[in-house]
Amino acid sequence: MEKLNFNKKRVAVFISGKGTNFKSLYKFSKLKKSKYKITIVISNKKNTLGIAFAKNNRIKNFTLIDKINLFEKKSIKILKKYKIDILCLAGFMRILSVNFINKFKKPILNIHPSLLPKLKGLNTHERAIKRKHKFSGCTVHLVNARLDSGKKLGQVKVKITKNDNAKSLEKKILRQEHILYPNSLNNFIN
Protein backbone atom coordinates (compact mmCIF):
# COMPACT_ATOMS: atom_id res chain seq x y z
CA MET A 1 0.00 0.00 0.00
CA GLU A 2 1.25 3.49 -0.88
CA LYS A 3 2.46 5.61 2.01
CA LEU A 4 0.21 8.67 2.09
CA ASN A 5 1.64 10.62 4.99
CA PHE A 6 5.25 11.75 4.98
CA ASN A 7 7.10 14.51 6.75
CA LYS A 8 7.24 17.64 4.66
CA LYS A 9 10.46 19.65 4.77
CA ARG A 10 10.27 22.74 6.97
CA VAL A 11 11.04 25.83 4.87
CA ALA A 12 11.84 29.37 5.99
CA VAL A 13 11.62 32.28 3.57
CA PHE A 14 13.62 35.53 3.76
CA ILE A 15 11.96 38.52 2.07
CA SER A 16 12.49 42.27 1.73
CA GLY A 17 9.29 43.45 0.05
CA LYS A 18 6.09 42.39 -1.68
CA GLY A 19 6.82 38.70 -1.25
CA THR A 20 5.31 37.59 -4.57
CA ASN A 21 7.72 34.64 -4.84
CA PHE A 22 7.02 33.79 -1.19
CA LYS A 23 3.28 33.74 -2.04
CA SER A 24 3.87 31.39 -4.96
CA LEU A 25 5.97 29.10 -2.74
CA TYR A 26 3.19 29.15 -0.13
CA LYS A 27 0.40 28.43 -2.64
CA PHE A 28 2.36 25.48 -4.05
CA SER A 29 2.98 24.20 -0.49
CA LYS A 30 -0.79 23.72 -0.16
CA LEU A 31 -0.90 21.31 -3.12
CA LYS A 32 -1.01 17.56 -2.49
CA LYS A 33 2.23 17.03 -4.47
CA SER A 34 4.19 19.51 -2.33
CA LYS A 35 7.08 18.06 -0.32
CA TYR A 36 7.48 21.14 1.86
CA LYS A 37 5.62 23.52 4.14
CA ILE A 38 6.39 27.16 4.85
CA THR A 39 7.12 27.29 8.57
CA ILE A 40 8.38 30.85 9.04
CA VAL A 41 8.97 34.08 7.12
CA ILE A 42 11.58 36.67 8.06
CA SER A 43 11.70 40.18 6.59
CA ASN A 44 14.49 42.71 6.93
CA LYS A 45 12.09 45.58 6.17
CA LYS A 46 9.12 46.99 8.12
CA ASN A 47 5.48 46.69 7.01
CA THR A 48 6.08 44.60 3.91
CA LEU A 49 3.24 43.13 1.87
CA GLY A 50 4.94 39.75 2.31
CA ILE A 51 4.66 39.94 6.11
CA ALA A 52 1.02 41.07 5.80
CA PHE A 53 0.38 37.97 3.65
CA ALA A 54 2.12 35.77 6.24
CA LYS A 55 -0.04 37.20 9.04
CA ASN A 56 -3.24 36.74 6.99
CA ASN A 57 -2.29 33.10 6.42
CA ARG A 58 -1.20 32.46 10.01
CA ILE A 59 2.43 31.82 9.11
CA LYS A 60 4.89 32.55 11.93
CA ASN A 61 6.73 35.73 10.90
CA PHE A 62 9.49 38.00 12.10
CA THR A 63 10.67 41.45 11.10
CA LEU A 64 14.34 42.04 11.90
CA ILE A 65 15.52 45.52 11.03
CA ASP A 66 19.15 45.22 12.05
CA LYS A 67 22.60 45.60 10.60
CA ILE A 68 23.42 42.43 8.62
CA ASN A 69 25.58 40.77 11.33
CA LEU A 70 22.87 41.17 13.99
CA PHE A 71 20.15 40.16 11.50
CA GLU A 72 22.11 36.98 10.75
CA LYS A 73 22.72 36.19 14.43
CA LYS A 74 19.00 36.55 15.29
CA SER A 75 17.94 34.65 12.15
CA ILE A 76 20.17 31.66 12.92
CA LYS A 77 18.55 31.36 16.37
CA ILE A 78 15.07 31.46 14.84
CA LEU A 79 15.96 28.97 12.08
CA LYS A 80 17.34 26.53 14.67
CA LYS A 81 14.41 27.01 17.05
CA TYR A 82 11.92 26.11 14.29
CA LYS A 83 14.09 23.23 12.98
CA ILE A 84 14.21 24.63 9.45
CA ASP A 85 15.42 22.19 6.76
CA ILE A 86 15.71 24.62 3.82
CA LEU A 87 15.96 28.41 3.55
CA CYS A 88 14.54 30.16 0.48
CA LEU A 89 15.54 33.71 -0.41
CA ALA A 90 12.63 35.37 -2.21
CA GLY A 91 13.30 38.98 -3.12
CA PHE A 92 15.64 39.22 -0.15
CA MET A 93 17.83 42.21 -0.93
CA ARG A 94 20.82 41.46 1.25
CA ILE A 95 23.86 39.28 0.70
CA LEU A 96 24.30 36.63 3.39
CA SER A 97 27.79 36.22 4.82
CA VAL A 98 29.92 33.09 4.50
CA ASN A 99 29.70 32.88 8.29
CA PHE A 100 25.87 32.67 8.08
CA ILE A 101 26.00 30.03 5.31
CA ASN A 102 28.47 27.94 7.36
CA LYS A 103 26.46 28.26 10.59
CA PHE A 104 23.12 27.37 8.97
CA LYS A 105 24.66 24.22 7.41
CA LYS A 106 21.53 23.45 5.38
CA PRO A 107 20.50 24.23 1.80
CA ILE A 108 19.80 27.85 0.92
CA LEU A 109 17.98 28.49 -2.36
CA ASN A 110 17.67 31.76 -4.23
CA ILE A 111 15.84 32.93 -7.33
CA HIS A 112 17.66 35.37 -9.56
CA PRO A 113 16.08 37.33 -12.46
CA SER A 114 18.56 36.39 -15.18
CA LEU A 115 19.96 33.38 -16.99
CA LEU A 116 22.90 32.79 -14.67
CA PRO A 117 25.84 32.94 -15.01
CA LYS A 118 24.88 36.01 -17.11
CA LEU A 119 23.95 39.24 -15.30
CA LYS A 120 24.78 38.45 -11.68
CA GLY A 121 23.84 41.11 -9.14
CA LEU A 122 21.33 43.95 -9.45
CA ASN A 123 19.51 45.77 -12.29
CA THR A 124 19.43 42.68 -14.50
CA HIS A 125 16.49 43.79 -16.69
CA GLU A 126 18.02 47.18 -17.50
CA ARG A 127 21.36 45.57 -18.27
CA ALA A 128 19.81 42.86 -20.51
CA ILE A 129 18.00 45.51 -22.58
CA LYS A 130 20.97 47.90 -22.70
CA ARG A 131 23.21 45.07 -23.95
CA LYS A 132 20.58 44.06 -26.53
CA HIS A 133 20.25 40.48 -25.29
CA LYS A 134 17.72 38.41 -27.23
CA PHE A 135 16.77 36.41 -24.10
CA SER A 136 16.74 36.81 -20.37
CA GLY A 137 14.95 34.75 -17.75
CA CYS A 138 15.27 33.47 -14.22
CA THR A 139 17.38 30.93 -12.37
CA VAL A 140 16.90 29.06 -9.10
CA HIS A 141 20.26 28.20 -7.56
CA LEU A 142 21.88 27.07 -4.35
CA VAL A 143 23.53 29.86 -2.38
CA ASN A 144 27.26 29.62 -1.78
CA ALA A 145 30.02 32.04 -0.77
CA ARG A 146 30.11 33.71 -4.21
CA LEU A 147 27.28 35.98 -5.39
CA ASP A 148 24.78 34.21 -7.69
CA SER A 149 27.27 31.40 -8.37
CA GLY A 150 25.82 28.28 -6.72
CA LYS A 151 24.63 25.14 -8.50
CA LYS A 152 21.66 25.82 -10.80
CA LEU A 153 18.47 23.94 -9.90
CA GLY A 154 16.22 25.35 -12.61
CA GLN A 155 16.13 27.98 -15.31
CA VAL A 156 13.50 29.49 -17.62
CA LYS A 157 14.31 31.49 -20.75
CA VAL A 158 12.20 34.54 -21.68
CA LYS A 159 12.36 36.24 -25.08
CA ILE A 160 13.12 39.96 -25.07
CA THR A 161 11.09 41.75 -27.76
CA LYS A 162 11.95 45.10 -29.32
CA ASN A 163 8.98 46.62 -27.43
CA ASP A 164 10.26 45.50 -24.01
CA ASN A 165 11.57 47.92 -21.43
CA ALA A 166 12.93 47.06 -17.97
CA LYS A 167 9.42 47.11 -16.41
CA SER A 168 7.73 44.92 -19.03
CA LEU A 169 10.62 42.47 -18.98
CA GLU A 170 10.50 42.34 -15.18
CA LYS A 171 6.78 41.45 -15.30
CA LYS A 172 7.31 38.70 -17.90
CA ILE A 173 10.16 37.18 -15.92
CA LEU A 174 8.35 37.46 -12.58
CA ARG A 175 5.46 35.37 -13.96
CA GLN A 176 7.98 32.65 -14.81
CA GLU A 177 9.68 32.94 -11.39
CA HIS A 178 6.34 32.17 -9.71
CA ILE A 179 6.21 28.83 -11.57
CA LEU A 180 9.92 27.96 -11.52
CA TYR A 181 10.71 28.58 -7.83
CA PRO A 182 8.13 26.27 -6.20
CA ASN A 183 8.75 23.53 -8.77
CA SER A 184 12.54 23.78 -8.38
CA LEU A 185 12.23 23.64 -4.58
CA ASN A 186 9.90 20.64 -4.75
CA ASN A 187 12.19 18.82 -7.21
CA PHE A 188 15.21 19.59 -5.01
CA ILE A 189 13.62 17.69 -2.12
CA ASN A 190 14.24 13.95 -2.55
Q: Are strands 9-15 and 36-43 parallel, antiparallel or unpaired?
A: parallel
Rounded to 10 deg, the angle between the 20-29 and 49-56 helix axes is: 20
Environment class of residue 84 by beta-carbon count within 10 Å: exposed (0-12), middle (13-18) or buried (19+)? buried
Catalytic choice (112, 125, 141, 178) = 112
C-beta separation of 41 from 10 below 8 A: no
How far, in Å, CA of 90 to CA of 177, rounded?
A: 10
Active site residue 112: yes
How far, in Å, CA of 10 to CA of 37, rounded?
A: 5
Number of helices (H) and strands (E) in the chain: give both, helices first: 6, 7
Active site residue ranges: 112
